[in-house]
Structure 1
């Protein structure tokens, strides 16, 4: 079959969802074009970050917990294609300060998946992790099956790999409209035609798929990159990933790894903001985060702030992915609530399976939402 005879898929968005879909399609012999409003990859995209947590511990989202073994497997397939493994296994330490369902629900799902985890006696927390604030702790455990993904490296290597496989990238091509009935994309005065359309536009998805307005809501989130005090630098270099479960102290923290900085974020979704805005976090953006971090980490006021960054997630009411058919020849894929990078490669694979006829269109939404068939 000649290249011109291959079914052509137009993908809108070059974040992890769009690039993973393109990757999975090229492996199946499809021709792919990717449209991106900024540079490729786009530094304003939700996916663009130094490192992100991945884990089997998933709290009350037991459907997504059951998908994580497949998510890890698909990333291994990606590493094999890229020739480099942009993942570092690290333990996950979960801390509890209030009685929240996430703590025990994660242990139950890890038991089901046979993922090792063990309690940490509260009396040992301070000596093992001197950076932690132990006041108010009521429980702690360490889990395997976790670590950090390195998104900027993944996105960049994916772009290079896909270009080498014949994927055509349209950088600086802000898509004004899509037609999922005819698989067409309009950029300014130009109309691009394909056989299938996939809209994976991140925080901008509701502008191209109007029925997602108010359903997939852009949410401006703040993270902080910080430098620990010198006396804690060595401890942080050996630190695990931390999740602190507290109504006031809720934080997630990724330790510094080669090429990355120490990053702290929180669990609260703002459900507001314009994704066209800048990515510099304001005092208002970080107020809740810094207050929470001060409850999670001893003497947090001694940490130097390197960057206050605003990013955007797309959030649904139930924090689930949206992946479904739109029109006769279109699909939409929207990552939600920070799950995007953990499951991004698997979601792209799932959409590609439907386009290739390996799974029905009707199955896709339930699968992507983490529901049993």
Structure 2
């Protein structure tokens, strides 16, 4: 017997995970997505993403990661496939920062390996690294690569098989979070609760998020390395360059994906309805940072420059809270939304089911 009907607005990792968690708890669920499922313009849609325990001064999120990995394991069991490759993340530090001490502390408390590698040894292992200015190299375990497109595709199939009613290509025009209503071009649908997980479009449906969850146009580049570095990149782990003027993250070309580089400096500008083709302006800072991180970067072939959108809060923390008598907001702020998406979705479903209080789930999701 159904425990009630919940409407989920948004079909990225947050919405799909919330729908899965609700269906497992016996709720009737309908999910609305403005595009196809999965949607190529959604923030979640990507070839590969990093998952890790290392979180620097955001230690609360570090301590959520063991639980996040357990939910991922449950998902692999449910879909019958593992869209994850375990591998270390290597941090190339150019100058000292608080990241190092807080990461060593949290990793030590969790029992996850975090160790220094001699710089000369690291340069021998990773000949594509530009050694200029490298002051420390840190290897962290409890990490790897997730494959989002494959994950989203299998999640859609999974929840459809659990009876979730899917509404792809259905733009939600408005939500009434007091009455539990969702309005589309085809009419109004009512439920006992509405969960808005609309990503970069959240401001249009939940006005209270305007100025708090800010859409941010971000750029990544997909690359082919010069032949002399091709084998090194194929065997490489995830490499993150930490420096005031660098700050790149680079994922190796594993499992038929391409070499990808991005940075963590948020633009906090843009309209999510813009196209996803990366412009010269989009990649200007990223290109300069990549030149500092990687040897002879101008010899790399740019295969694609792509723009994506995140929402960003001032402190890069998730917004999970009640909105109105029958509404919930689930906004994954910054790029760490994907790795924690299934865990946060489970938390929202648990709160709707009465397993935890509104206040508790909001604090928990903010990593506090």
CA–CA distance in structure 2, aligned partners of residues 105 and 139 of structure 1: 15
Residue 258 of structure 1: CA displacement? 1.3
Distance across 2 between alignment mates of 1:223 and 1:102? 23
Q: Residue 210 of structure 1 is aligned with which of 207, 210, 224?
A: 207
Moved over 6 A (4+): none
Q: Distance in 2 between matches of 1:100 and 1:252?
A: 17
C-alpha separation between the residues in 2 aligned to 1:291 and 1:276?
Answer: 27
* 2:219 aligned residue: 222
CA distance in 1 between counterparts of 2:270 and 2:101 reads 33
Residues 123-134 of structure 1: matches in 2 within 5 Å?
123-134=120-131
- String of CA shifts for 1:11-46, please: whole Å, max 9, x gaps: 000000000000111111111110001111110000
Other-structure match for 1:303: 300
Q: What is the rounded CA distance, in whole Å, between the counterparts of 1:346 and 1:110 in structure 2?
A: 20
Whole-angstrom distance in 2 between the partners of 1:359 and 1:142: 36
Q: How many residues align?
A: 368
Q: CA RMSD in A?
A: 0.9
Gap regions ≥5 residues in structure 2: none
Q: Would you say the 8 A contact 1:94–1:103 is kept in 2?
A: no
1:78 and 2:56 are equivalent in the alignment: no
Deviation at 1:231, TM superposition (A): 1.3
Secondary structure at 1:11 match in 2:
strand
Q: Structure 2: how far apart are the matches of 1:136 and 1:71? A: 35
Q: 1:289 aligns with which of 264, 286, 289?
A: 286
Q: Alpha-carbon deviation of 1:150?
A: 0.5
1:114-165 per-residue CA deviation (whole Å, 9 max, x = no partner) reads 1012211012122110110011000011111000110000000000111111
How far 1:6 moved relative to its partner? 4.4
Q: For 1:318, which of 315, 324, 329 is the aligned residue?
A: 315
CA distance in structure 2 between the partners assigned to 1:49 and 1:19 by the alignment = 15
> Cα offset for 1:180?
1.0
The alignment status of 1:273 with 2:245, answered yes or no, reads no
State the alpha-carbon separation in 2 of the partners of residues 43 and 261 from structure 1.
Answer: 17
Q: How does 1:1-373 map to 2 (within 5 A)?
A: 1=1, 5-188=2-185, 190-371=187-368
For 2:287, what is the secondary structure of its paired residue? helix
Q: Deviations over 1:184-236 (max 9, x none)?
A: 10002500111111000000001100010000000000000000111111111
Q: What TM-score does the superposition give when structure 2 sets the normalisation length?
A: 0.99
Match of 2:194, SS? strand
How far apart are residue 172 of structure 1 and its match?
1.2
Structure 2 counterpart SS, 1:308: strand
Partner Cα distance (2:97, 2:307) in 1: 27
Secondary structure of the structure 2 residue equivalent to 1:176: strand
Q: Residue 362 of structure 1 aligns to a residue in which SS?
A: helix
TM normalised by structure 1 equals: 0.97
Residues 235-263 of structure 1 show CA distances to partners (whole Å, capped at 9, x for unaligned) of: 11110101111111110011011121100
Give the whole-Å Cα distance in 2 for the aligned partners of 1:251 and 1:189. 44
Which runs of no fewer than 5 residues in structure 1 stay unpaired?
none
SS in 2 for 1:309: strand
CA displacement at 1:104 relative to structure 2:
2.5
- SS of equivalent to 1:244: strand
Supply the distance in 1 between the matched residues of 2:179 and 2:312 (Cα, whole angstroms).
28
Instruction: Give the Cα–Cα distance (whole angstroms) in 1 for the partners of residues 102 and 126 of structure 2.
Output: 24
